[in-house]
Structure 1
């Protein structure tokens, strides 16, 4: 593994460990963090078999690190508004008229943004005959499918809990369309990851044809 990737992975593990200092809701945080451990193991094994670009590796590490911080506060309790106000004196909640904590929305958006470039590159590594657009389309569909399966998983776990514990774990905050909004944001995040160089490659191929 390249030194830059080792640094990114090491920093991510450090953030993960730091979020477990005096946990506020240890059981619920452990449920969320189980996916973090799986993700870190997958990232390391995947890069050993199919080396990733450093930027793609770092993006995924960045997502996992932010996820760890949000998981400590179970997403809906993340005090981002207080942090921003302390640093800048500006309140996102007041400025946009938000009635709920949107930390979970950010995480789902980041999932699409941070994973799509690496997935697209992986598609072209495995199947070199794919065009850039085809590889991107497959990456987009994987993000959408992963988001759907995650919402199913959340729902399944919630069924085993009391209503209060399920609400704390899922962080719906009374929003009946929470799962739909999360999946949409992951999809939009993936679309935001459409690289300019792919557009350039497609345009060049069209001109050559």
Structure 2
């Protein structure tokens, strides 16, 4: 059973690579695609290169994979232009919230951060959760600054699409809140389900 569950990272990677290649074909805006996909490629390669030296739990990989797939779709269409009308209409939203879900999923990375800290025994579960939360909040703020710099330096349509504000002057603040709420959610899952077993390297496996 354990051996089968260890196959999940390989399965996710096997599905993700052709999906990413497909989404790299004829994107809405190639310059925006590059800006959105650099973080995707960096995270994916980091996970591949460190897989032999440190393997996260199955749930951690599932959390991380959600963001990789979701962000890849956003990079292809640009987040404001993803065909998400069914969701928007169902809830009666005035704007496309595909990007909000994407930011919420950024917070999922708090789970593997906390898991790493606890498995390495660098701190206890409470401190690990707080460090993971603050890490995501810092990344969220840093990314909003990068978006702003890119939009200002580009000064054109690509900058507007990368920013993805859709006319909302509070978009950056709401994005950071979504990142934070995603982190709180994933850490709640981590704290309830995994913290007692993580030292045995068997968290949810």
Question: TM-score, normalised to structure 1's length?
Answer: 0.83
Write the distance in 2 (CA, Å) between the matches of 1:129 and 1:34. Answer: 30
Q: Does 1:178 align with 2:182?
A: no
Shift of 1:147: 0.6
Number of residue pairs matched by the alignment: 191
Q: Does 1:100 align with 2:75?
A: no
Inter-CA distance 162–196: structure 2 relative to 1 (3 Å threshold): closer
Per the alignment, in what secondary structure is the counterpart of residue 47 of structure 1? coil
Inter-CA distance 161–115: structure 2 relative to 1 (3 Å threshold): same
Per the alignment, in what secondary structure is the counterpart of residue 78 of structure 2? coil
What is the CA RMSD across the aligned residues, in angstroms? 2.2
Write the distance in 1 (CA, Å) between the matches of 2:138 and 2:145. Answer: 11
1:15–1:69 Cα contact (<8 Å) kept: no
2:103–2:179 Cα contact (<8 Å) kept: yes
Shift of 1:140: 0.5
Larger Rg: 1
Aligned partner of 2:61 in structure 1 is 57
Per the alignment, in what secondary structure is the counterpart of residue 192 of structure 1? helix
Q: Does 1:137 align with 2:141?
A: no
Q: Which of these residues, 10, 18, 31, is aligned with residue 14 of structure 1?
A: 18
Write the distance in 2 (CA, Å) between the matches of 1:200 and 1:75. Answer: 32
2:23–2:72 Cα contact (<8 Å) kept: yes
Write the distance in 1 (CA, Å) between the matches of 2:177 and 2:189. Answer: 22
Q: Which of these residues, 143, 148, 151, is aligned with residue 141 of structure 2?
A: 148
Shift of 1:137: 0.8
Write the distance in 1 (CA, Å) between the matches of 2:42 and 2:122. Answer: 31
Unaligned 5+ segments in structure 2 are 1-5, 196-205
Unaligned 5+ segments in structure 1 are 82-90, 203-209
Counterpart mapping for 1:77-116 below 5 A: 77-81=81-85, 91-112=86-107, 114-116=108-110
Aligned partner of 2:40 in structure 1 is 36
Write the distance in 1 (CA, Å) between the matches of 2:81 and 2:26. Answer: 16
Aligned partner of 1:85 in structure 2 is none
**Higher relative contact order (CA closer than 8 Å, sequence separation 6+):** 2
